[in-house]
Amino acid sequence: MTSIQAKLAAHGHRLTKPRQAIFTVLSHQPQSVLEISQKLSKKKLQIDKVTIYRTLDCFVNLGLANKTQFKDQTFFYELADHKHHHHVVCEGCGKIADIELDEAELLQKVRKNSPFQIKSHHLEFFGLCQKCH
Amino acid sequence: MTSIQAKLAAHGHRLTKPRQAIFTVLSHQPQSVLEISQKLSKKKLQIDKVTIYRTLDCFVNLGLANKTQFKDQTFFYELADHKHHHHVVCEGCGKIADIELDEAELLQKVRKNSPFQIKSHHLEFFGLCQKCH
DNA sequence: ATATTATTGCAAATCAGTTGCAATAAGTCA
DNA sequence: TGACTTATTGCAACTGATTTGCAATAATAT
Ligand SMILES: [Mn+2]
Ligand SMILES: [Mn+2]
Ligand SMILES: [Zn+2]
Ligand SMILES: [Zn+2]
């Protein structure tokens, strides 16, 4: 709460009830707005989806959340307090697991092979989890 | 034409005029359906966007095209006849360049770190091209 | 040439995300 | 604390991308 409080304040933003609620529901598991909405409902916290979108957007800008995308046109959000990492998605059951890699070599190769100044990347893996295998 | 012809036939699909037209317009530059549609229009080939979607879907299934996604909810399609590769997208002007990497090490690391059976991955880089830099 | 059925095009629907705006509630300060 | 300012919320309507239903059309096989 203090961290979010501080970051919001530093940007002239307010710590509101919806923002607190949405924050408590975030985790390292990337979640869609629908899933977040449903989690909130279960907690008897009724928050409009537009507010969820705007809040997540705000969190992403403040570096509190990360926005990801897998194979469909839906965006997923997770807490940003961990180390930079990527995910493996099970194409059988939808399960998502974190993957932590040393990407130094990879990025080095890319920088050597491309004249672009690279700022960020998306990397996601797809396959089958142990159960679905 | 023969390659597409053969693959279509092998799956009981027909080589139609729209399919030929759409095929000629594909390249290694990932393109959205809108862009493909505009290219076709310039060639005086008026094809409904629904047909473009269905055709691209068909091409992807036959391994003739690849479907990619960058930071928005739009899908991009490119020819699949080249070696496996990824892209760098300029966030200034939208320019897209191919990036070819040796991913063996990376995949090895991932397989070692994850119990999932990995089948595919998405990897895209974002930054600024030389002009926008 | 005819019959069969995959494919097309149009209209309408869906799905995720965005925008406008009036009502509400944080944060500020006397 | 209580009034004041303005960020934030919720609702309704909208957009852009993609999908679906269906009747008309055109590729293929005989
Ligand atoms: Mn994660
Ligand atoms: Mn390419
Ligand atoms: Zn699974
Ligand atoms: Zn550029």
pLDDT digits 0-9 by tens, B9-30: 999 999 999 999 999 999 999 9
| Burial (CB count <10 Å: 0-12, 13-18, 19+), residue B20 | middle
Which of B69, B106, B128 lies closest to A106 in CB terms?
Answer: B106
Q: How confident is the model at residue B3 (pLDDT cuts 50, 70, 90)?
A: confident
- Portion 21-50 of B in contact with A at CB < 8 A: none
Ligand 3: distance of its center to the CA of B69 in Å? 23
pLDDT for the residue B133? 86
Distances (CA, A) of B121 to A39, A67, B124: 29, 18, 10
pLDDT digits 0-9 by tens, B49-75: 999 999 999 999 999 999 999 999 999
Please provide the size of chain A in residues. Answer: 133
CA of A15 to C1' of C27 (A): 9
pLDDT digits 0-9 by tens, B118-128: 999 999 999 99
Q: How confident is the model at residue B2 (pLDDT cuts 50, 70, 90)?
A: low
Closest chain B residue to A88 measured between Cα atoms? Answer: B116
Which of A71, A113, A117 lies closest to B99 in CB terms?
Answer: A113
Q: Kindly give, in sequence order, each residue whose CB lies less than 8 Å from that of residue A119, ignoring residues fewer than 6 positions away.
A: B91, B126, B127, B128
Mean pLDDT of chain A: 95
Sheet holding A75-79, edge to edge: A31-32, A75-79, A65-69
Is this structure's pTM higher than 0.75? yes
Does the pLDDT of residue B1 top 60, yes or no? no
- The rounded distance, in Å, linking the Cα atoms of A47 and A53 is 11
Query: Structural domains in chain A?
Result: 2-79 (1.10.10.10), 86-127 (3.30.1490.190)
pLDDT for the residue B113? 92
